[in-house]
Structure 1
Amino acid sequence: MKRDSRLSATLHALLHMADHTAPVTSEVLAKCMSTNPAVVRRTMAGLREAGLVTSEKGHGGGWRLARDLTAVTLADIYRALGTPEIFAIGNKTEDPVCLVERAVNHALGDALAEAETRLLQRLGEVTLASLADELRRHRSSVHQHGGPDHAS
C-alpha cells in the first residue's frame, strides 16, 4: 500500500524555504520534494489559502513563508493539506450485521480514534521552529564530524 508522504515532503520544502530570504521557485521546491512543479504549485496553493505561505509572480518570484516558524505547527500544515488519512487500516464493513464484526469494529474504532487524537495532539505541539532548530543541531554535528551535509 502506498503511503501518503505529502506532509513529510511539504515539511522538507518549508524547511528549505526557511533557509532562504528570497522567494523560492516551484522548480527548486520540486527538486527537494522529488516531484514536479505542478504538484508543488497545487500543494503550496493549499498552504497559501491557510495563510502559511505567500507567492510572488514574475521574475524573482516564488514562494515565501507567511508566518514566523514559531507560529506554525505540524498540525497547521496537516490541516492545510486537507487532513490526509492517517491510518491505512480500517473496518471491513462500516455497518455490519454480524455481531462478531460489530465487536471488532468497536474495538478497532476506539483504538484508532485514540491513536489519531494523540497523533494530532503531538503534531500540534511541534513547530517549524523546533524542526529548524533540530536541523541546525544536526548540521553542526555533521560538520564537526566531517560528514556530508545533504542540501535536499
Structure 2
Amino acid sequence: MKRDSRLSNILHALLHMADHEARTGEPMTSDQLALCLSTNPVVVRRTMAGLREQGLVSSEKGHGGGWRLARPLDQVTLGQVHDALGGTGLIPDAPPVEAEGCLVEAAVNDALSDTYAQARALLEARLNAITLADLAADFSRRMALHPKRDTAHAHRRRPHAS
C-alpha cells in the first residue's frame, strides 16, 4: 500500500515558511517550497491554493511575492491542515473487499472497520491537539542541539517516488 505523505510534506513546508518569514520577513515562493519538498512548483501551488481556501495561508503575487501563513502558529492545528488536504489517507474507512460474498472476510472487515473508526477518532483528536507552534518549538529545540545546521534547510530530502 502506498503511503500518503501529503500531510507530513505540507507540515514540513508550513514550518519552513514560518522559519523563513521569521528570519527574512519575506514570503516563500513556490520554487523555494518545491526545493524543500523535492517536488514541482506546480504541485506546491495547487496544494497551497487548497490551504488558502481554508484560510491557512495567503499568497502575494509579483516580485517579492509568495506564500505566507495566514494565522499565528498557535492558531493552526495539524487537524486543520489535514482537513484542508481533504482529510483522507491516514487510516482507511474500511478494508478492501477482495472476495465478494465470503462470510469470513465479511466478519473480518466488520471488525476492522469498527477498529479503523475508533483509531481515526483517536488520531483526529490528537491532530486537533497539536499546533504548528508545538512543531516549531520542537524544531527550535532540535536546532539548539545542532547549532551548525542550516536553518533555511537543514537537510536535503530524497526525491519522492511518484
Relative to the length of structure 1, the TM-score reads 0.90
Runs of 4+ in 1 over 6 A off after TM superposition: none
Aligned 8 A contact 2:31 2:41 in 1: yes
* 1:73 match: 77
* 1:29 match: 33
Choose between structure 1 and 2 for higher RCO, CA contacts under 8 A separated by at least 6 residues: 2
1:55 aligns with 2:59: yes
Q: Report Cα offsets for 1:57-107 as digits up to 9, x if no partner.
A: 000000000001000000000011111222369434299533322211211
Distance 1:133 1:35 in 2: 26
* 2:142 match: 138
1:38 aligns with 2:35: no
Q: Report Cα offsets for 1:110-134 as digits up to 9, x if no partner.
A: 1111111111111001000000000
1:151 aligns with 2:160: no
Aligned 8 A contact 2:93 2:117 in 1: no
Q: Which runs of 5+ in 2 are unaligned?
A: 156-162
How many pairs does the alignment contain? 149
2:29 maps to a residue whose letter is T
Distance 2:125 2:88 in 1: 16
Relative to the length of structure 2, the TM-score reads 0.84
2:8 maps to a residue whose letter is S
- Pair 1:54–1:89, CA change in 2 (3 A): closer
1:26 maps to a residue whose letter is S
* 1:101 match: 105
Q: Which runs of 5+ in 1 are unaligned?
A: none
Aligned 8 A contact 2:143 2:149 in 1: no
- Provide the aligned C-alpha RMSD in A: 2.0
- Pair 1:67–1:94, CA change in 2 (3 A): farther
1:123 aligns with 2:130: no
